[in-house]
Amino acid sequence: MSGVMIACKDSSMCEKLSQFLISNGIQVLGTATKGAAALRLASRFYEGGVLLCTYALSDMTATELCRLKPDRFEMVVLLSARQRAMFRGGGILCLDIPINRRDLIDTLQMLTVRDNRHTKAVSKPAQRTGDEKEIIFKAKALLMERNNMTEQDAHRFLQKASMDSGQTLVQVAQNILNGVL
């Protein structure tokens, strides 16, 4: 089962985040205050998970950690407004500090949805209706606003979540709009 690994320079922040996530039903795989320790911890989890980190750790930045992390881990970076102006991590989800708790939980649940895989018969996709296109558009807009993604990153995220969960793109988009993911 995948979960969330936390990496923060400040050990008390790691502990607070860990307690908060656990109290909201999210499995915490472990915590680290250094990037090297986070990488060692990640290497033990073959099924992957989510790496939640602050921009700066004591031995590396989030950009370096993203480059070195195992591919099976998604990454969410917590950034201040000043750090966001300097940070351009392609394909990395970002959330603002101070943390909006609901956005954090929604984002992490969305990323760990792959644990709820459904097997589904493969069929030729039908043409999308106007309503379905609107649902996808609104979900992408929400992801772009909440996680500061580009339109392309938001679409790629929806596609990946769809493949990981065995749901259609429209179902995943609807779950995001409903706050389920």
According to CATH, the topology of domain 1-116 is Rossmann fold (3.40.50)
Distance, in Å, from the CA atom of 36 to the CA atom of 90, rounded to the nearest integer, reads 22
Distance, in Å, from the CA atom of 123 to the CA atom of 18, rounded to the nearest integer, reads 41
Would you state the pLDDT for residue 10? 93
Distance, in Å, from the CA atom of 78 to the CA atom of 55, rounded to the nearest integer, reads 6
Would you state the pLDDT for residue 16? 94
Would you state the pLDDT for residue 125? 57
Q: Give domain limits for the chain.
A: 1-116, 121-181
Do the domains at 1-116 and 121-181 have one common CATH topology? Answer: no
Residue segments in the chain with a per-residue pLDDT below the cut of 70: 1, 88-91, 113-126, 181
Structure tokens at 128: 């999308």
Would you state the pLDDT for residue 119? 31
Would you state the pLDDT for residue 53? 94
Would you state the pLDDT for residue 80? 87
Would you state the pLDDT for residue 48? 85
- CATH 3.40.50.300 describes domain 121-181: no
Would you state the pLDDT for residue 35? 94
If we measure between CA atoms, which residue out of 115, 116, 69 comes closest to residue 92? 69
What one-character-per-residue DSSP string does the chain give? --EEEEE-SSHHHHHHHHHHHHHTTPPEEEEESSHHHHHHHHHT-TT-EEEEEESB-SS-BHHHHHHHS-TTEEEEEEE-HHHHHH---TT-EEEESSP-HHHHHHHHHHHTGGGG-------PPPPPPHHHHHHHHHHHHHHHHHH---HHHHHHHHHHHHHHHT--HHHHHHHHHTT--
Q: Are 86 and 113 in contact (CB under 8 A)?
A: no
Q: Which residue has the tokens 């990395």?
A: 92
Would you state the pLDDT for residue 117? 45
